[in-house]
């Protein structure tokens, strides 16, 4: 792949780079370029990523003038809460972090969202960088500045928009990612095709074999293509006043499933189930033809993503979907497809429509249900 860097604009003239790398070797150079000589940096990571990659990142920090420390969170969505954030604040206070110092998120979307939220709120906001280590984080969560934590059973209920200074995506780290985590990341990857690019969906299917084998060159190209879609949407509407909501395709019902399963299912798997439901609603509305609807299901299946869920009641899914933070004056703000590659915002769905789609994803199907 020839592209190595992609620039993301923010409001005003601020922009930041996503670096597409094949090792950590250029991390020190990127950190030095921040001109924060003699500053402190805290690498926030998790209990799975620390033994794998903390040494390599610290080796890079030794080549800089940063004074560094690290903080290891317990891994997993169950720990994406305010209690764990307090632990990070305490670490920063004890280590005398001030407003000129910064954080580095080394990990998946959970670490990224939590580190970003800590950076957004500690001392009313300090800088941070993203070093995403899951496919999901490299294609989605490290870009666009959504940070936050779950609150009770509510997904991402407390958070802030806070953009990183840069994103450093080393494709090589994907080789240690468990298979289910890779598949979960594919949930957001296929979503990008569904919402904005039929060509990208076709490209994914054409390269299914190499992607499934996680060939680094093809994975890097895929990550780049996904980042182009995400950054374009985010640049148009950084604070989600309108268009950015399309990135939520599959998430309204997906988040309900995630919550009702007590966060035991992976985010990308729940998004895939939500995509199947949203595609079904698009079919019912006449926005998708039967053939296009089947194309969505086929692509999800091609990457081993689920399209059904078992063990949940339709009523519970409906109630939880309606308690999502995406309600707009009592109407559910839903993302539908008006043709593959073109997501639109819809506020006209009734409870009956939603129940029909939820019934569809709850149908017993031993092979595809999670």
Ligand X SMILES: NC(=O)c1ccc[n+]([C@@H]2O[C@H](COP(=O)([O-])OP(=O)(O)OC[C@H]3O[C@@H](n4cnc5c(N)ncnc54)[C@H](O)[C@@H]3O)[C@@H](O)[C@H]2O)c1
Ligand Y SMILES: O=C(O)C(=O)C[C@@H](O)[C@H](O)[C@H](O)COP(=O)(O)O
Measured between alpha carbons, how far is 298 from 199 in angstroms, rounded to an integer? Answer: 15
Q: Determine, following the binding rule CB under 6 A, whether residue 188 of this chain makes contact with ligand Y.
A: yes
With the C-alpha atoms ordered 24, 29, 30, 36, is the resulting torsion angle positive or negative? positive
- Rounded alpha-carbon distances, angstroms, from residue 367 to 205, 270, 310, 335: 21, 16, 11, 27
Site for ligand Y, residues 228 to 257, rule: CB under 6 A = 240, 244, 247-248, 251
Are 172 and 22 within 8 A, CB to CB?
A: yes
Q: Is 210 a catalytic residue?
A: no
Measured between alpha carbons, how far is 345 from 252 in angstroms, rounded to an integer? Answer: 12
Secondary-structure breakdown of the chain: helix, strand, coil percentages, each rounded to the nearest 5: 50, 20, 30
Q: In the bound complex, which residue of the shown chain has the CB atom lying closest to ligand X?
A: 109
String marking each residue 51-80 x if it binds ligand X according to CB under 6 A: -x----------------------xxx--x
| Residue 121 known to bind ligand | no
Among 115, 118, 130, 134, binds ligand X (CB under 6 A): 134
Site for ligand Y, residues 142 to 161, rule: CB under 6 A = 144, 146, 155-156
Cβ distance to ligand Y smaller for residue 80 or 308: 80
Q: Is 267 a catalytic residue?
A: yes
Could you tell me the smallest distance in angstroms from the CB atom of residue 144 to ligand Y?
A: 4
Measured between alpha carbons, how far is 175 from 187 in angstroms, rounded to an integer? Answer: 18
Are 108 and 137 within 8 A, CB to CB?
A: yes
Cβ distance to ligand Y smaller for residue 221 or 324: 324
- Of the candidate spans 35-43, 96-104, 139-147, 351-359, the one that interacts with ligand X by CB under 6 A turns out to be 139-147
| Residue 109 known to bind ligand | yes
For the record, the structure tokens of 291 come out as: 């053939």
Residues 6+ apart with CB under 8 A from 367: none
With the C-alpha atoms ordered 158, 128, 17, 174, is the resulting torsion angle positive or negative? negative
Q: Determine, following the binding rule CB under 6 A, whether residue 140 of this chain makes contact with ligand Y.
A: yes
Could you tell me the smallest distance in angstroms from the CB atom of residue 141 to ligand X?
A: 3
The beta strands (E) that lie in the chain are given as 5-9, 15-21, 40-46, 67-73, 102-107, 127-132, 146-151, 154-161, 166-170, 327-328, 331-332, 334-337, 343-346
Question: Torsion-angle region of residue 280: left (phi > 0), alpha (psi -120 to 50) or beta?
Answer: alpha
CB under 5 to 8 A by kind: which of ligand X, ligand Y, none does 107 bind?
Answer: ligand X
Q: Is 261 a catalytic residue?
A: no
Give the residue numbers of the binding site for Zn(2+).
188, 251, 267
Residues that bind ligand X (CB under 6 A): 46, 48-49, 52, 75-77, 80, 107-111, 113, 133-134, 136-137, 140-141, 144, 146, 156, 173, 176-177, 181, 184, 188, 267
Q: Which residues are annotated as a binding site for NAD(+)?
A: 109-113, 133-134, 146, 155
Residues that bind ligand Y (CB under 6 A): 140, 144, 146, 155-156, 188, 240, 244, 247-248, 251
Catalytic residues: 124, 146, 188, 230, 240, 244, 248, 251, 255, 267
């Amino acid at each position: 792949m020839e592209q190595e860097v992609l620039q993301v604009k923010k409001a005003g003239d601020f922009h930041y780079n996503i670096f597409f790398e094949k090792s950590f070797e250029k991390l020190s150079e990127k950190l030095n370029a921040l001109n924060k000589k003699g500053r402190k940096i805290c690498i926030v990571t998790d209990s799975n990523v620390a033994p794998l990659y903390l040494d390599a990142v610290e080796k890079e920090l030794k080549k800089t003038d940063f004074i560094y420390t690290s903080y290891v969170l317990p891994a997993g969505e169950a720990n994406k809460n305010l209690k764990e954030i307090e632990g990070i604040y305490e670490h920063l206070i004890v280590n005398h972090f001030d407003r000129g110092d910064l954080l580095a998120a080394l990990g998946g979307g959970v670490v990224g969202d939590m580190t970003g939220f800590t950076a957004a709120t500690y001392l009313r906001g300090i800088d941070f960088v993203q070093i995403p280590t899951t496919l999901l984080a490299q294609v989605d969560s490290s870009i666009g500045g959504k940070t936050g934590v779950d609150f009770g059973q509510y997904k991402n209920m407390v958070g802030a928009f806070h953009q990183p200074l840069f994103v450093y995506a080393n494709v090589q780290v994907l080789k240690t990612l468990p298979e289910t985590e890779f598949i979960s990341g594919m949930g957001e990857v296929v979503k990008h095709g569904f919402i904005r690019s039929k060509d990208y969906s076709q490209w994914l299917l054409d390269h299914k074999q190499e992607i499934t084998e996680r060939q680094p060159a093809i994975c890097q190209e895929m990550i780049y293509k996904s980042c182009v879609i995400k950054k374009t949407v985010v640049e148009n509407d950084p604070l989600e006043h309108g268009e950015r909501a399309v990135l939520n395709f599959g998430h309204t019902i997906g988040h309900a499933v995630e919550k009702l399963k007590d966060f035991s299912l992976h985010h990308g798997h729940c998004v895939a189930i939500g995509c199947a439901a949203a595609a079904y609603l698009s079919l019912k509305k006449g926005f998708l033809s039967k053939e296009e609807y089947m194309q969505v299901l086929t692509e999800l299946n091609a990457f081993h993503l689920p399209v059904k869920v078992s063990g949940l009641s339709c009523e519970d899914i409906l109630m939880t979907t309606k308690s999502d933070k995406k309600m707009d004056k009592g109407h559910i703000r839903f993302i539908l497809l008006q043709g593959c590659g073109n997501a639109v915002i819809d506020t006209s769905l009734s409870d009956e429509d939603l129940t029909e789609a939820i019934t569809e994803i709850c149908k017993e199907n031993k092979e595809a249900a999670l």
